[in-house]
Amino acid sequence: VKTFQGPPHGIQVERDKLNKYGRGLLGCTIKPKLGLSAKNYGRAVYECLRGGLDFTKDDKNVNSQPFLRWRDRFLFVAEACYKAQAETGEIKGHYLNTTAA
């Protein structure tokens, strides 16, 4: 424990990536975690980011389901982030669950 220097990333790295300082970062987990198509999942991400959140994230057990393949989710989420960034002029993010991808 004495030699552990901490995680390679931290709040300062996240603030630098999002260019957000002097306030808390606002984010949420996309719900429902199961049942949305990739397109509707992307829409939920877009609406959250466009509504003012800094980032969204996958629920811990959203992986590659038959109705929500990882690649499809990635593509729709990327589109949502780019669109929200273009409309708000702010950097937006999404944390994808890559387990079982």
10-residue averages of pLDDT along the chain (101 residues): 77 92 96 89 98 95 82 96 98 89 55
- Return the pLDDT at 68: 84
Q: How far is CA 99 from CA 21, 51, 88, 90, in A?
A: 31, 28, 31, 29
User: Closest by alpha carbon to 79, among 30, 43, 29?
Assistant: 43
pLDDT attached to residue 60: 84
